[in-house]
Structure 1
Amino acid sequence: MTTAVIALIALLLVAAAGFTAYLSWTTHRIASRSEAQIPMAGKTVSIGGDRIHYVDQGKGRPILFVHGLGGQLHHFRHPLFSVMGEGYRLVAIDRAGSGYSTRVSSGARIPEQADLIAKFIDALGLEKPLLVGHSLGGAIALRVALDHPDRISGLALISPLTHFIPTPPKEFGGLYIRSPLMRRVVANTLAVPASLKNAQQTLDFVFGPQPVPAEYAIAGGGYLGLRPSHFHATSSDLVAVEQDLPQQVGRYGEIRMPVGILFGSRDRVLHHTHHGLAMQGKIEGIDIEILDGIGHMPQFVEAEKVASFIRRIADRAFAA
């Protein structure tokens, strides 16, 4: 190898290191701005080695909200809490790794996340809450019902992931990183700048056919997704689904509590037939409601109807 070739290789390595450092600096600058715009909204509780961030509002029978892939507690707090009415204690969490919750001792596997939810219920002393799960949060809520049925009174699932999807939507393709090391590297370099660049396209897919609410970035917590820890947790969650959901589907008949599912007929992320109507007959007495023309985020565009659905399932669950 000639001196010139060696010098070129060295120059390329220096350039690559410099570019990586620039991406890392850009990533953490964006993350700092995001946190400044949306500070912590509630309290934290330590569970194992993790710090779980949550908001707790109102008095009455408890309802616990579990957000979906890439989300955080503002997906419920902002659009729903003000329209739920009185008589409920409304609690929403940032799942471990998302929002302002950490993921240190717990993992991304669905049973692990369900275990953490059960421990959170115990830590706050919630007396058999109704569990509300959106999207991936629906799959986790179903697992709580399977593995910890004594902790909750029922399930109200909004646009839930109920069956395994072999190929994630192409809009989520950048999240599917199986290597833990590569996931960490991408999270701290490319992921956040790329997410910012593609944000409008991704949000149009998730919210469509309805427009993205103007207040979503701040009030809806959208900017909190622009942080390395959040990307890492979201990618880990997506990869973990394939390890547990196929087996979980075969157990749905074990669930013996009131369960309701609310779906939009125009959901682009999870099809209402495959994940909603397909649950008919799998759980005894299941209540399935389809909102015509609505996409994956009904709590933002039809908050009153979603709140009415939750109250209806709550009445059944708490009566039982």
Structure 2
Amino acid sequence: MSIWTELAGVEFSVAYVDAGGMRTRALQAGSGDPIIFLHGTSGHLEAFVRNIPAHVNAGYACHAIDMIGHGYTAGPDAPYRIPRYVEHVLAYLDALDIARAHFVGESLGGWVAGRLAADHPDRVSRLTLVAPGGTVANPAVMDRIKTSTRRAVEEDDIAFTRERLELLMFDPAVNVSDELVEVRHAIYHRPEFVKALPNLLCLQEMDNRQEDLLSPEQMGRITAPTLIVWGAQNPFGDVPEAHAMNHSIAGSRLEIFAECGHWPQHEHADRFNTLHLDFLSGARA
């Protein structure tokens, strides 16, 4: 299954939006209440191609964006810290006159969406955090992210890009396609991406990360109905982190997917889509 066949059943466009002066790539599809999809560290909007059609067909306007310095979106010549990511996402909303949206944030995207929901509750309708990062500073995990990403970017061998993607999955043989590897390899070897890599990896440095962590106090300020989705075999975060987040966000719901790594929305797309659409409708199992 290719990216194009995943999206073949819906009308969509890939647009470039001026979001606060940053040329921002976005996959836009559908109409209705808006959903903003935010990817993880060194990721890109293609992380959500298995989710867009189901949400479009359910009557939502989907916006999967490349965050600052990621994918084909421009980035400032400065470290990409959480407040800067939040500012960029808000600028995207403002550029399209979106007053309020649902958010789906995976990994880094969940960290950003969580902070946005805490600081700007008026902009968030419902919040879905998919294997979200940013609640702990684990040196081993931080080093794994830095090392694997740098090797994939600095070495031309596409096998290192494949290894970086395979880290995310419980079953990489099924979920890491040649096409997905080629898309990421092309992004990783853009001169702009290579130059910006230190800025992009700044949250894997202890001082930066600790200052920007999503704290229990911040999570306690999240008022949007919140769904947390976690993979039981998440290589970048243990299950107790999910339970702690669930405890900190009042009224939140936690779903742990078995046989699943760091991309639940991709590895178990059908289950995720059904769960998420029920959540958006207000249903609860």
TM-score calculated relative to the size of structure 1? 0.74
- Cα 1:115/1:173, change in 2 over 3 Å: closer
Name the structure 1 match of 2:190: 227
Q: What amino acid is aligned across from residue 300 of structure 1 in structure 2?
A: H
Name the structure 2 match of 1:82: 53
Report SS of the residue matched to 1:150.
Answer: helix
Cα distance in structure 2, aligned partners of 1:152 and 1:102? 25
Name the structure 1 match of 2:282: 316
Cα distance in structure 2, aligned partners of 1:201 and 1:105? 28
Name the structure 1 match of 2:20: 48
From 148, 162, 168, the equivalent of 1:206 is 168
- Cα 1:64/1:54, change in 2 over 3 Å: same
Name the structure 2 match of 1:11: none
- Cα 1:229/1:168, change in 2 over 3 Å: farther
Cα distance in structure 1, aligned partners of 2:269 and 2:178? 14
Cα distance in structure 2, aligned partners of 1:220 and 1:289? 31
Name the structure 2 match of 1:63: 35
- Cα 1:292/1:250, change in 2 over 3 Å: same
From 252, 274, 277, the equivalent of 1:286 is 252
Larger RCO (alpha carbons 8 Å, 6+ apart): 1
Cα distance in structure 1, aligned partners of 2:200 and 2:35? 24
Cα distance in structure 1, aligned partners of 2:126 and 2:77? 28
Name the structure 2 match of 1:173: 146
- Cα 1:310/1:115, change in 2 over 3 Å: same
Contact 1:264 1:290 in 2 (8 A): yes
Name the structure 2 match of 1:193: 155
Higher mean alpha-carbon deviation, 294-303 vs 228-237, is at: 228-237
Report SS of the residue matched to 2:83.
Answer: helix
Cα distance in structure 2, aligned partners of 1:104 and 1:202? 25
* Unmatched segments (≥5 aa) in structure 1: 1-40, 177-185
1:63-104 CA deviation, whole Å, 9 max, x = no partner? Answer: 11011101101111x211122233100111000111111013
From 261, 264, 272, the equivalent of 1:306 is 272
1:257-289 CA deviation, whole Å, 9 max, x = no partner? Answer: 101101111111222322x11112211110100
Contact 1:192 1:227 in 2 (8 A): no
Name the structure 1 match of 2:225: 258
Name the structure 1 match of 2:235: 268
Name the structure 2 match of 1:108: 80
TM-score calculated relative to the size of structure 2? 0.82
From 219, 231, 237, the equivalent of 2:200 is 237
Q: What amino acid is aligned across from residue 173 of structure 1 in structure 2?
A: K
Over the aligned positions, Cα root-mean-square deviation in angstroms equals 2.7
Contact 1:63 1:129 in 2 (8 A): yes
From 121, 139, 142, the equivalent of 2:111 is 139
From 34, 37, 44, the equivalent of 1:72 is 44
Q: How big is the shift at 1:220?
A: 8.4
Report SS of the residue matched to 1:118.
Answer: helix
Contact 2:36 2:102 in 1 (8 A): yes
Task: Give the aligned length.
Answer: 264
Cα distance in structure 2, aligned partners of 1:152 and 1:220? 34
Identity %: 27
Q: What amino acid is aligned across from residue 309 of structure 1 in structure 2?
A: L
